[in-house]
């Protein structure tokens, strides 16, 4: 192949093309806008990770990729039997890898979730002032989530701590831009998404519903990464169109922010509720979606 340079600018472009094209693919990872103008490459190589034959890719959406370890090759002899049957029952380590060059505004993590980073990665607290700090501290107190969620920006790679929980990747466009999460479900999201504490519509839903008085609400346009005790294959997704869903127990792990959540009697009267054996049920009204686990949380 012959490249012909027509002018001085074209000569620089041809030289950069030759420089980058003959580098190994693993080294040609990322380049920010400042480096592009200077023709400098940011280079790093990650080997025996995603390309490891013991690791498979479960899902990929936006900047997030979910990996799963097929076997625990470092298990000790005394634990081998437990590890064998755990693996047979789908109890495996899973890990999230974030490509920051694809993230919309960076990545926000649950505190302590980061394991390692490589390349051009900058970490901040995400605090924009005293008022913002107080607001996040109050929201963390009532929702049970970490008050400070670190934010990572740049164009490098961010790897999260491995977990035995199941990872769910959610596009908020599929939830009409707003979702309410059960406690402990949040793991990471694109930093353009906004967080808020969502209070139950009445006090009874907190006392009798088993979902607490406050939950974490996430809104905006972007990708959300959730950590669930139940795999996506077992979750039941119910879509309501100006209708009602009644659930006996705290099996709802996430629901649209547009839904109204209350706790009510299962029957029209106290006697009817007592005879039916159901008593009080969680009720979701309106238009939106609900994710249900197959069994009440804490039992699975």
d(CA 177, CA 199): 18
Least confident of 51-55, 75-79, 114-118, 261-265: 261-265
Give me the mean pLDDT over the 148-163 stretch: 94
pLDDT in tens, 76-97: 999 999 999 999 999 999 999 9
Closest CA to 199 of 145, 261, 135, 250: 261
The pLDDT assigned to 291 comes to: 97
218 burial via Cβ count (<10 Å: 0-12, 13-18, 19+): buried
What pLDDT is attached to residue 129? 53
Q: What is the pTM of this model?
A: 0.77
Return the pLDDT at 4.
43
pLDDT score for 123:
93
Between residues 203 and 61, the one the model is more confident about: 61
- CB-side neighbour CA atoms (13 Å) of 294: 8
Q: Which tokens sit at 78?
A: 């005394």
pLDDT(172) > 60? yes
Q: How many Cα atoms are found within 13 Å in the side-chain-facing hemisphere of 142?
A: 17
Helix (H) or strand (E) holding 35: helix 33-38
Give percent of the chain above pLDDT 70. Answer: 69
Q: Which of the 8 DSSP states describes residue 74?
A: T
pLDDT exceeds 90 at position 218 = yes
Residue 235 — pLDDT band, cuts 50, 70, 90?
very high
Would the CA dihedral through 247, 249, 251, 256 be positive or negative?
positive
- Structural domains of the chain, ranges and CATH numbers in brackets: 1-45 (no CATH), 46-292 (3.60.160.10)
Q: What is the mean pLDDT of residues 265-284?
A: 63
- Taken in order 127, 128, 129, 131, is the CA torsion positive or negative? negative
Considering only residues 98 and 297, tell me which one the structure prediction assigns the higher pLDDT: 98
Could you tell me the pLDDT band of residue 198, with boundaries at 50, 70 and 90?
Answer: confident
Backbone angles phi, psi at 190, to 5 degrees: -70, 140
């Amino acid at each position: 192949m012959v490249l012909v340079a027509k002018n001085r600018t074209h000569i620089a472009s041809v030289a950069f093309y030759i420089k980058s094209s003959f580098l190994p693919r693993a080294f040609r990872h990322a380049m920010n806008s400042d480096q592009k103008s200077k023709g400098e490459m940011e280079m790093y190589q990650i080997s025996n990770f995603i390309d490891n034959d013991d690791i498979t890719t479960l899902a990929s959406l936006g900047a997030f990729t979910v990996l799963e370890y097929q076997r625990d090759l470092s298990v000790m002899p005394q634990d081998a039997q437990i590890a064998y049957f755990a693996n047979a029952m789908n109890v495996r380590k899973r890990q999230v890898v974030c490509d920051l060059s694809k993230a919309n505004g960076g990545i926000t993590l649950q505190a302590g979730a980061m394991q390692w980073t490589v390349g051009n990665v900058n970490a901040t607290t995400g605090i924009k002032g005293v008022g913002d700090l107080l607001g996040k501290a109050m929201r963390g107190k009532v929702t049970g989530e970490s008050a400070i969620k670190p934010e990572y920006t740049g164009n490098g790679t961010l790897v999260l701590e491995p977990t035995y929980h199941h990872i769910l990747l959610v596009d908020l466009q599929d939830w009409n831009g707003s979702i309410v999460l059960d406690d402990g479900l949040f793991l990471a999201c694109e930093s353009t998404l906004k967080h808020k504490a969502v209070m139950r519509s009445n006090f009874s839903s907190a006392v009798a519903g088993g979902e607490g008085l406050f939950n974490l609400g996430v809104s905006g346009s972007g990708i959300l990464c959730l950590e669930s005790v139940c795999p996506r294959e077992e979750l039941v997704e119910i879509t309501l169109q100006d209708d009602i869903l009644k659930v006996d127990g705290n099996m709802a792990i996430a629901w649209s922010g547009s839904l109204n959540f209350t706790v009510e009697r299962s029957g029209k009267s106290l006697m009817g509720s007592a005879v039916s054996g159901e008593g009080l049920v969680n009720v979701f009204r309106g238009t939106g979606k609900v994710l249900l686990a197959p069994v009440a949380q804490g039992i699975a």
